[in-house]
């Protein structure tokens, strides 16, 4: 959505292309340097932030829509993306609500009641290229412990996303989208510690991951300067995808 003409068309005829009552909102978790952040969008002309989202095309499969929206915002695809809830209860979602009324004609399709499908994604913050478009003034990565009041019902959505993400962590391995191909034990441990906001014992942590067969030694080391060089590990892809499908009980 780049040109003025496209924009005008979206406002006037968007409902021909998209369902007017169905949006997707993404809680995009970014991990970088031992911090967990969430991607927030500041809308042009609106005060305050929201989760990035978009509409679902009338002929578009739902999952494909979620991937498209994510790619539009972050320019990456093929990432870990999970649907977690369909929102349609809050006052904001039952009222034919007041949002945007100052910008839009009274009969605009954008003033309809919307349902929203919540997805969460885990991405490597550093590999994301934010794509600002004409709707968004800017995107910011916000520390997950310092989330401001968001627009619409997005605080509730984000809270639920965090809950689901943390619970799912115990049933699915993560990391392949968040770490480089080869990583050290302290790196993957930090990842888990940051996301779960919990500390683990070095020895027990590595024992667990190795005994599960989830990661394996590459016989390489990484030089980190003035300290002992840590060994490099990689995921056992077979085991990894097996666990993604079949589920694991990762008691951490």
Residues that bind DNA (CB under 7 A): 184-186, 201-204, 206-208, 221, 223-231, 251
- Contact between 120 and its own copies by CB under 8 A: the answer reads no
Sign of the C-alpha dihedral computed for residues 129, 81, 17 and 48 taken in this order? negative
Sole binder of its own copies in the list 10, 18, 19, 183 (CB under 8 A)? 19
> Which residue's CB is nearer to DNA, number 141 or number 233?
233
Q: Does residue 146 contact residue 40 with C-beta atoms inside 8 Å?
A: no
Q: What is the 3-state secondary structure (H, E, C) of 104-153?
A: CCCCCHHHCCCEEEEEEEEEEHHHCCCCCCCCEEEEEEEECCCCCCECCC
Residue 200 interacting with its own copies (CB under 8 A): no
Q: How far is the CB of 128 from its own copies (least distance, A)?
A: 25
- Distance (Å, whole) CA 53 – CA 36: 20
Q: What are 216's strand-pairing partners?
A: 234
Cβ at position 56, least distance to its own copies in Å: 7
Task: Pick the binder of its own copies from 16, 113, 202, 222 (CB under 8 A).
Answer: 113
- Residue 141 pairs in a beta bridge with 39
Cβ-based nearer residue to its own copies, 32 or 160: 160
Shortest separation between residue 162's beta carbon and DNA, angstroms: 22
Q: Which one of residues 68, 71, 93, 208 is an interface residue with its own copies (CB under 8 A)? A: 93
Please identify, using beta-carbon distances, which residue of 4 and 91 lies nearer to its own copies: 91
d(CA 31, CA 208): 22
Binding of its own copies at residue 60 (CB under 8 A)?
yes
């Amino acid at each position: 959505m780049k040109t003025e003409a496209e924009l005008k068309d979206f406002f006037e005829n968007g409902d021909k292309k998209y369902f007017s009552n169905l949006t997707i909102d993404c809680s995009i978790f970014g991990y970088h340097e031992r911090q967990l952040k969430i991607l927030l969008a500041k809308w042009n002309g609106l005060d305050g932030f929201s989760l990035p989202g978009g509409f679902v095309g009338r002929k578009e499969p739902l999952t494909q829509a979620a991937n498209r929206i994510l790619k539009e915002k972050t320019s990456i695809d093929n990432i870990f993306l999970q649907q977690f809830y369909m929102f349609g209860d809050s006052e904001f979602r039952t009222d034919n609500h007041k949002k945007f009324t100052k910008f839009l004609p009274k009969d605009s399709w954008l003033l309809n009641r919307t349902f929203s499908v919540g997805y969460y994604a885990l991405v490597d913050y550093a590999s994301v290229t934010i794509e600002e478009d004409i709707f968004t003034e800017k995107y910011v990565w916000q520390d997950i412990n310092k989330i401001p009041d968001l627009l619409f019902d997005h605080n509730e959505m984000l809270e639920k996303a965090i809950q689901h993400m943390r619970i799912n962590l115990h049933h699915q391995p993560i990391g392949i989208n968040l770490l480089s191909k080869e990583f050290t034990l302290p790196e993957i441990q930090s990842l888990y510690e940051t996301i779960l906001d919990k500390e683990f014992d070095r020895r027990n942590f590595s024992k667990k991951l190795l005994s599960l067969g989830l990661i394996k030694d590459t016989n390489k080391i990484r030089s980190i300067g003035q300290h002992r060089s840590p060994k490099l590990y990689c995921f056992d892809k077979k085991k990894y995808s097996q666990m993604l499908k079949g589920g694991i009980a990762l008691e951490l």
